[in-house]
Copies of this chain bind each other. A is one copy, B any other.
Amino acid sequence: MTIPIAAVLPIRILGTGQALPSRVVPTAEVAALCGLTAEAAEARTGVRERRWLSGSETALTLGAQAARNALAAANLALEDVDVLLNASGSQAQPIPDGGALLARELGLSGRAAYSIHGTCLSFLLALQHAALLIGSGQAARVLIVSTEGGSVGLNMAQPESALLIGDGAAAVVLGRAVRPGQGLHAARIETYPEGADHTRIQGGGTLRHPRNAAVQPQEYLFDMQGLGVLKLASRVVPAFLERLRPGLSTGLAGISRVVPHQASKVGLDLLRRYGWPEDRVEVTLPTLGNVIAASLPLTLHQALSTGRAGEGDTVLMVGTGAGLTAGGLILEL
């Protein structure tokens, strides 16, 4: 599905915030767990350090703190939120939904709280949903929270994924546009399930339930076949970009700043193939790693808080995630 370019959904970002675990984990430390040298590990992944949850920190405490920071940046109170969208790739608890758990952590009661899920692209999907709610007048302000605690499920026997994943949270408050043209100009999602086994956690759902004695401990851990992801992404992304907006697979006409999912170093390197100048692409991978669904809003927060993107700019948020799913949206700030 593509939003016709003519029909702009009139939204704007009222505030963004992040919350990072206090524990900084240098690549040398993870490399040692994986039996690699720090130099080899960093060259391979492009990640110098990442944050991992520790002590009393959880995906919920972090998510709530990011939400409070975003509300403070927007100069809004919790009561101003009509809808709380949980847009996280990892699940805090199977039941109830993460939206309700975040609402409890925040002290928000009586408002809509639920989840939009598409693993690493959950934030894009939630932003589109928020734009539809606001654009159709069903909500005035929507708070999106992406929070990840995936480090608990890393497999040190698989360095390519173990070295990549970090924890963290980011939140964005959205409201109605204040000028013509401001808002969501395009959004597109395409899923290619021939890549469904390239990125997975098999154990823990109804198919491979923890009660099932046949499920092996490593099935609960993150498993990524990077080469498979890369091959499939290389094949489908150019045409996907053309459908998102013609010309995007060969350049950045009309785009001020690219906020990509921080999937991996090779994933980011791929963007150069499309003729996208490196200095227009926002990057958080070296210091945060791949923070699953929180990578996109964390990287957006960085672009906005450093002033590299601001009022009137047109931002392309784009990436691929488990599925394989390609997703992108074009937002005029």
Please list the residues of chain A having a beta carbon within 8 angstroms of any beta carbon in chain B.
1-4, 7, 9, 58-60, 82-84, 89-101, 103-104, 108-119, 121, 125, 129, 132-133, 135-139, 148-150, 152-153, 187-194, 196, 199-212, 217, 220-222, 236, 321-325
Contacts and interface: CB of A to CB of B under 8 A. Distances in A.
A136 B135 contact: yes
A7 B125 CA distance: 23
B210 A96 contact: no
Closest 3 CB pairs of A and B: A104-B193, A149-B206, A96-B322
A133 to B, nearest CB: 7
A246 to B, nearest CB: 18
Nearest to A83: B1
B193 A100 contact: yes
A188 B89 CA distance: 25
Q: How many copies does the complex hold?
A: 2
A332 B152 CA distance: 47
Contact of A206 (B115, B129, B150): B150
B114 A115 contact: no
Contact of A190 (B112, B138, B210): B112
B205 A325 contact: no
Contacts of A324: 96, 100
B200 A211 contact: no
A325 B211 contact: no
Given A9-B136, A217-B211, A114 B125 contact: yes
A108 B89 CA distance: 22
Contact of A132 (B99, B132, B323): B132
A20 to B, nearest CB: 16
30 contacts: A1-B138, A9-B136, A59-B206, A90-B205, A91-B91, A92-B206, A92-B207, A93-B205, A94-B201, A94-B204, A95-B222, A96-B322, A100-B325, A103-B193, A109-B191, A109-B194, A110-B190, A110-B192, A112-B189, A113-B189, A114-B116, A114-B121, A114-B325, A149-B207, A150-B206, A203-B210, A204-B210, A210-B210, A210-B217, A211-B221
A2 B138 contact: yes
A205 B97 contact: no
Contacts of A139: 1
Which of A125, A135, A149, A222 lies at the interface centre, i.e. has the most chain B CB atoms within 10 A of its CB? A125
A114 B133 CA distance: 18
A90 B208 CA distance: 12
